Structure 1
Amino acid sequence: MTVADILMLIAVICIWSLLLVNVVLIVAGFLYYMQIENEAPPQLQGEVPFVSILVPAHNEGKVIVQTVQALLALEYPRDRYEIVVINDHSSDNSRDLLSALQEKHPGRNLIFLHTDAETGGKGKSNALNVGFRQARGELIAIYDADNTPEKKALLYLVSELTNDPSLGAVIGKFRTRNRDAGLLTRFINIETLSFQWMAQAGRWKLFRLCTIPGTNYIMRREIVERIGGWDVRAVAEDTEISFRIYRMGFRIKFQPKAVTWEQEPQTVKVWFKQRTRWAKGNIYVIIKNLPLLFDRSAGSVRFDIIYFLSIYFLLVTSLVVSDLLLVLNALGFVMTTLAGFSSFLWMLAFLLFVLGTFITVVTEKGEMRLSNVWVIMLMYVSYCQLWLVVAANGLYAYLKDLAFKRETEWYKTERY
């Protein structure tokens, strides 16, 4: 075998190993969804806990009013929750909009905190720490500033957490509010349903592991106090705090009936910037928690380390190597006898991707559409390939920040 054959074989083995892991997660996730579908929604038992909802907001004037109004309409006892909006060094009209809201809803537990250049503008983690210092709740819920949670979302999250003392946090699901705005938002909608929430469901079913998303989750106050708040150096503060909860011996559960709707990027430029931030943040978390791989007490948490390592390093490298070898072989610069076999596997992977993704998407009401098949096929050859560039750019951004010792800043996702 030539060197090119060996490299191609290694790349194919890596890609298919990860593909099969994803198939296992899809199957397990599908079973979990069916289980939840047949169960009654979680119910509050005993005394109703007081909840502080933190909403970090930086220049969110376009969406903040709708978000606060949705939070005010939650089906949860009015005197048992407060809404703490951290207007974090905004330069738009957010302060005026929030003041008008406070006048419109006197007597409600609305707290608006306004930071300046000295106390704020340092990223979402810092804003959450500012809000937490003012929060009174025994439970802490987080919603992004562009969210409109369904009325029972908070009730379901609280019920799950209070009914099981082994849980440190409970996460709900976010859906794409503007999914029909264009082809990009349809891609994002499918990605969210298939590769985020189905994977979360599968990991919970198999390993009792979940990663906190940036929004629509609740956690115990004592956890935030014990870990000293959110890591201000972490861009992906949600993933980072998940690992600290794991290490404290708590579990994080996924409750798909707790749903919020959020706005997604509508241009490739905004999407690329957002996803690069996610990739860079997750790489930071991987590097920070790498020692857990060699810690026997970490238990199943090591699966998440390997999972993220595989996605951001092994998969990206394998795909780049295999694609490069196929191109060089076609141009006659290298010879590999596995090119034909690799092309066959590529086609098989494509069919498996389309079938598996469509099956996961149609578990959601309103997604049983034939047009989704064509969108998924197009997604494989466009959107998924762009992800390779995003992952590489995220690694570059992480290394650049590390070299220049840059402080965390707000990475503002444009609203519509």
Structure 2
Amino acid sequence: MAVLPILLVVLYGLCLLFILGFSAGQWQLTRLALRAYAKGLPPPPPAPAKWPRVLVQLPLYNEQNVVERIIDAAAALDYPTDLLHIQVLDDSTDATVALAEARVAYHAARGLRISHVCRPNREGYKAGALRYGLEENADEFVAIFDADFVPDPDFLRRTIPYFLQDKQVGVVQTRWGHLNEDESLLTRLQAFGLNAHFLIEQVGRTSAGFFINFNGTGGLWRRACIDDAGGWHTDTLTEDLDLSYRAQLRGWRFVYRPEIVAPAELPAVMDALKSQQFRWTKGAAETAHKHLGNMWRSEQPLPVKLQATFHLLNSSVYIVIMLMALLSVPLVFVRAHYHEYKAVFQLASVFLIGFTPLIYYYYTAWRLAHPDKPLWRYPGFFLLFLSVSMGLTLHNARAVILGWLGRRTPFVRTPKAGTGSPARKRRYRTGGVGWLVILEGVLAAYFAFGLVAGIYLDDFGLLPFHSLLTIGFAAICYFSIRDNS
């Protein structure tokens, strides 16, 4: 009996088991979220008689397309002027500095307490800037908005009461809206994925008392919570997820309100999306490496520990999908020539049913986000989303591996084009067409070969998988080249 085919089948089967577990976790969150919606979200607390002092931090780095927009939006917040302090944390090295300085001066002349903070260096990137801004500030609450956000004027009045209702609330996180969802297919696909996180995952975890995460922006912190948890650390690329776990392990409670929406701009080009995906997936792996042991050594209930493990290891699914994809092409030939494994392949077909909960998970989020859209639009859009997500697996799997290995990489911000801004634009690039893009093109050809081989050998079991992989990798390669030309 050949050893290589057995090894191939075993590895592929283990990948399917992992996918089944991941899919089951998403199904559980969907059920929890639907139960929460059916029960009804808790009503908002009443407005206080006396409002507390609030610091609004706007971390920036080379964002001349949107810097004026975010400063103006922060200045338009409906909150007592004497209780509001806006900090523009500007690490920029381009024209953003002058633009920010001018808008800060304008709003300061109108009576706002607003400051333009420029550090001597960019040490610690965003986390370092947030920490630097807190050093000489003692306000009780801290709101954070990235450069691509445009908060509504009533944002603070709708969120601050949750802190005053419960002294153990350390964070109030809101749902991200999408300013440019309909700009392109790429932005629609991103909105599709993000809506699932904000409408299903965050709601499901909150309703069950599981750990959730501050999403880095569009939310507020109690200053005492930040200090008690050890402040902003700079040893991961997801400083938000890191501090979230440290705070919740210290006993702080997080509130998530999906009905409060903070509009933001989605990356409109592939290199910007890739930089964002790299930061999120690598940072998640770094945070998992840092906190999984702490979680299991804590006194948290077993269900909380299990869900936190699933949460922290979410990004590892890219490694599994990449391995599964690479194994699938030689598996076409094993299926065709080793008929003694027929029973194993039939069992694998049963495990493929494990993907069904993902269809349910994304469909539920899609209906919640777009209740008026006809049902017939969902299947094709879901398959396209799945295909493009698969096309990102090489890029994201590399990020996860680097995170687990502890390789330090710089914080590459996601450049914004400035939806709704003046016609003046600067095209920021995060990198050129490197070896990874070339390899994505090679993989597109590799999976196309597997597709043709399956048809030639009259074995169509992996044809859907190879079709999605071929389209996904080809699309990612094409857009990566196009957006850098």
Q: TM-score, normalising length from structure 2? A: 0.76
Greater Rg over alpha carbons, structure: 2
Task: Letter of the 2:81 partner, please give it.
Answer: R
Task: Letter of the 2:266 partner, please give it.
Answer: E
How far apart are 1:372 and its partner, in Å? 4.3
5+ residue gaps, structure 2, are 418-485
Q: State which of 329, 336, 339 in structure 1 corresponds to 2:345.
A: 339
Task: Letter of the 2:29 partner, please give it.
Answer: L
5+ residue gaps, structure 1, are none
Is 1:110 matched up with 2:126? no
How far apart are 1:4 and its partner, in Å? 4.1
Q: State which of 259, 262, 265 in structure 2 corresponds to 1:263.
A: 265
How far apart are 1:166 and its partner, in Å? 2.2
Please name the residue that 2:26 is paired with: 22
Change in Cα spacing, 1:194 to 1:55, as seen in structure 2 (3 Å) is same
Change in Cα spacing, 1:3 to 1:332, as seen in structure 2 (3 Å) is closer
Task: Letter of the 2:115 partner, please give it.
Answer: I
- Indicate if the aligned counterparts of 1:153 and 1:172 stay in contact, CA closer than 8 A: no
How far apart are 1:3 and its partner, in Å? 4.1
Distance in 2 (CA, whole Å) between partners of 1:190 and 1:361 is 7
Please name the residue that 1:219 is paired with: 221
Change in Cα spacing, 1:162 to 1:4, as seen in structure 2 (3 Å) is same
Q: State which of 383, 389, 393 in structure 2 corresponds to 1:377.
A: 383
Please name the residue that 1:86 is paired with: 89
Task: Letter of the 1:388 partner, please give it.
Answer: T
How far apart are 1:34 and its partner, in Å? 4.3
How far apart are 1:396 and its partner, in Å? 3.9
Distance in 1 (CA, whole Å) between partners of 2:190 and 2:18 is 26
Is 1:237 matched up with 2:239? yes
How far apart are 1:345 and its partner, in Å? 4.6
Please name the residue that 2:373 is paired with: 368
Please name the residue that 1:69 is paired with: 72
**1:34-53 correspondence to structure 2 within 5 Å:** 34-36=38-40, 39-53=42-56
Please name the residue that 2:154 is paired with: 152
Is 1:330 matched up with 2:335? no
Distance in 2 (CA, whole Å) between partners of 1:267 and 1:344 is 38
- Indicate if the aligned counterparts of 2:206 and 2:255 stay in contact, CA closer than 8 A: yes
Is 1:297 matched up with 2:303? no
What's the secondary structure of 2:369's corresponding residue?
coil
How far apart are 1:129 and its partner, in Å? 0.9
How far apart are 1:192 and its partner, in Å? 0.5
Distance in 2 (CA, whole Å) between partners of 1:356 and 1:385 is 17
Please name the residue that 2:172 is paired with: 170
- Indicate if the aligned counterparts of 1:57 and 1:85 stay in contact, CA closer than 8 A: yes
Please name the residue that 2:362 is paired with: 357
Please name the residue that 2:413 is paired with: 412
**1:205-216 correspondence to structure 2 within 5 Å:** 205-216=207-218
- Indicate if the aligned counterparts of 1:64 and 1:94 stay in contact, CA closer than 8 A: no
Question: CA offsets, 1:294-349, max 9 Å, x none?
Answer: 41424455235411454233x34543444344322212488443334434653x45
Distance in 2 (CA, whole Å) between partners of 1:246 and 1:63 is 33
How far apart are 1:108 and its partner, in Å? 0.8
What's the secondary structure of 1:145's corresponding residue?
coil
Task: Letter of the 1:183 partner, please give it.
Answer: L
Distance in 1 (CA, whole Å) between partners of 2:392 and 2:233 is 26
What's the secondary structure of 1:75's corresponding residue?
coil
CA RMSD of aligned residues (A): 2.6
What's the secondary structure of 2:57's corresponding residue?
strand
Please name the residue that 2:462 is paired with: none
How far apart are 1:131 and its partner, in Å? 1.2
- Indicate if the aligned counterparts of 1:212 and 1:239 stay in contact, CA closer than 8 A: yes
Change in Cα spacing, 1:40 to 1:32, as seen in structure 2 (3 Å) is same
Q: State which of 142, 145, 168 in structure 2 corresponds to 1:143.
A: 145
Change in Cα spacing, 1:399 to 1:204, as seen in structure 2 (3 Å) is closer
Distance in 2 (CA, whole Å) between partners of 1:249 and 1:219 is 14
What's the secondary structure of 1:362's corresponding residue?
helix
What's the secondary structure of 1:18's corresponding residue?
helix
Question: CA offsets, 1:120-151, max 9 Å, x none?
Answer: 35410011011112334111111111101123
Question: CA offsets, 1:141-177, max 9 Å, x none?
Answer: 1111110112332222211122112221111111221
How far apart are 1:20 and its partner, in Å? 1.4
What's the secondary structure of 1:288's corresponding residue?
helix
- Indicate if the aligned counterparts of 2:68 and 2:99 stay in contact, CA closer than 8 A: no
Count of residue pairs the alignment pairs up? 406
Please name the residue that 2:287 is paired with: 285
Please name the residue that 1:161 is paired with: 163
Query: Which structure is richer in relative contact order (CA contacts within 8 A, separation 6 or more)?
Result: 1
Q: State which of 390, 398, 404 in structure 1 corresponds to 2:403.
A: 398
Change in Cα spacing, 1:321 to 1:275, as seen in structure 2 (3 Å) is closer
Change in Cα spacing, 1:369 to 1:65, as seen in structure 2 (3 Å) is farther
How far apart are 1:360 and its partner, in Å? 1.5
What's the secondary structure of 2:290's corresponding residue?
helix
Task: Letter of the 2:78 partner, please give it.
Answer: E
Distance in 2 (CA, whole Å) between partners of 1:163 and 1:289 is 30
How far apart are 1:64 and its partner, in Å? 1.6
Please name the residue that 1:32 is paired with: 36
How far apart are 1:221 and its partner, in Å? 1.1
Task: Letter of the 1:254 partner, please give it.
Answer: Y
- Indicate if the aligned counterparts of 2:322 and 2:397 stay in contact, CA closer than 8 A: no
**More deviation, 362-371/271-280:** 362-371
**1:309-324 correspondence to structure 2 within 5 Å:** 309-313=312-316, 315-324=317-326
How far apart are 1:374 and its partner, in Å? 2.4
Q: State which of 275, 296, 307 in structure 2 corresponds to 1:273.
A: 275
Identical pairs, percent: 21
What's the secondary structure of 1:60's corresponding residue?
coil
Distance in 2 (CA, whole Å) between partners of 1:82 and 1:319 is 46
Distance in 2 (CA, whole Å) between partners of 1:179 and 1:272 is 17
Q: TM-score, normalising length from structure 1? A: 0.88
Please name the residue that 2:195 is paired with: 193
How far apart are 1:74 and its partner, in Å? 2.3
- Indicate if the aligned counterparts of 1:150 and 1:258 stay in contact, CA closer than 8 A: no
Distance in 2 (CA, whole Å) between partners of 1:358 and 1:199 is 13
Distance in 1 (CA, whole Å) between partners of 2:389 and 2:92 is 35
